[in-house]
Amino acid sequence: MAYRAAIAGCGLIGSGFSDTMTLPGVWSHADAYTRCPETDLVAVCDQNGEKSERCAKRWNGAAHHTDFSAMLDDAKPEIISICTPDALHYPQIKTALEHPAVRAVLAEKPLSLAREEAQELIALAAQRGVVLAVNYTRRYAAGFWHLKKMLDAGKLGKVQAISGFYTKGTLHNGAHWFDLARWLLGPIAEASGVDVLHEAGNDPTLDAALTFASGARGYLHGLSAADYALFEMDIACSGGRARIVDSGFRIEIQHLEDSPFGAGYRRLSETESLSGELPEALYNAVDNLARCLKDGATPRCTGEDALAALDIALAVRASA
């Protein structure tokens, strides 16, 4: 029997990307729950009643609500996705964790905007026996698992330095980059920030200097989203190089080879291009959550993982 699922937030990641994205794949939580045989989308909620109703009609007539608590009481979902704006994550995740029907929560990032709140949610999930997962998307994409296995096996040698670019806020999207970096390369021991762009608001897009526990160095450049969106990572190793480009749709791998200059010189080989396999990441996140309920598996991205990424983002912001 399929798990009853519901969504809070009928914006782009909740539903809308499935209609705006021109590439094939699963681009919204609603689509993932609809396609996964282990789940049944029974309700959606948004403070905007027209948006909620439109989303419900789009996805096979799920019940639509404007009040989050009322949806939980009426629909009694076993799985709930939190796809609302960042400031609503903490109160809605807490409400979901406290509801007797809810057995699993899939939250969009960040888990919360404050460390103490994130810790509270993690403790509450453990106390209630509820699975808490966070959608740091690239952890759920098969191409990135292939890259992680390659790095863990030392196929590119020792990591020396890492750099990258991002847009749209240190906590909002920078935490995506921090989570991916620490998942691929290990713990980040030190983090500091520089406010280059001088953006307004509570979540400016900062530059970040990082030191990994392994000794590798890192630098993340923040760019203005007014020009274009960008998410890239460049991992320079002693035996090759890996570049995550096109927001993660493509992963480029280079190995070492003898240089035509001779005399003992070596160079990086021509690029081997791999798919990041992002189009199936959200489906994999929902499927992973269902397996956690069925088999007791651990989410590919836990609340503790999200807290670690939040800690780095907060340290960068405090330093800047």
For the chain, helix, strand, coil in percent to 5 are 40, 25, 35
Q: For residue range 149-158, list pLDDT tens digits in order.
A: 999 999 999 9
pLDDT at 263 over 80: no
Tell me the residue range of the domain where 265 lies: 142-276
Q: For residue range 272-295, list pLDDT tens digits in order.
A: 999 999 999 999 999 999 999 999
Asked if residue 314 is part of any domain, the answer here is no
Please report which helix (H) or strand (E) contains residue 307, including its range: helix 303-319
* Number of compact structural domains in the chain: 2
What pLDDT, on a 0 to 100 scale, did the predictor assign at position 258?
Answer: 84
The pTM assigned to this predicted structure is 0.94
Asked if residue 210 is part of any domain, the answer here is yes
Mean of pLDDT values over 228-246? 97
Q: Residue 315 forms beta bridges with which residues?
A: none
Q: What is the largest CA-CA distance in the chain?
A: 74
Same domain flag for 72 and 23: yes
Q: How confident is the model at residue 11 (pLDDT cuts 50, 70, 90)?
A: very high
What pLDDT, on a 0 to 100 scale, did the predictor assign at position 29?
Answer: 98
Mean of pLDDT values over 17-31? 95
Same domain flag for 53 and 102: yes
Same domain flag for 233 and 251: yes
Asked if residue 307 is part of any domain, the answer here is no
pLDDT at 44 over 90: yes
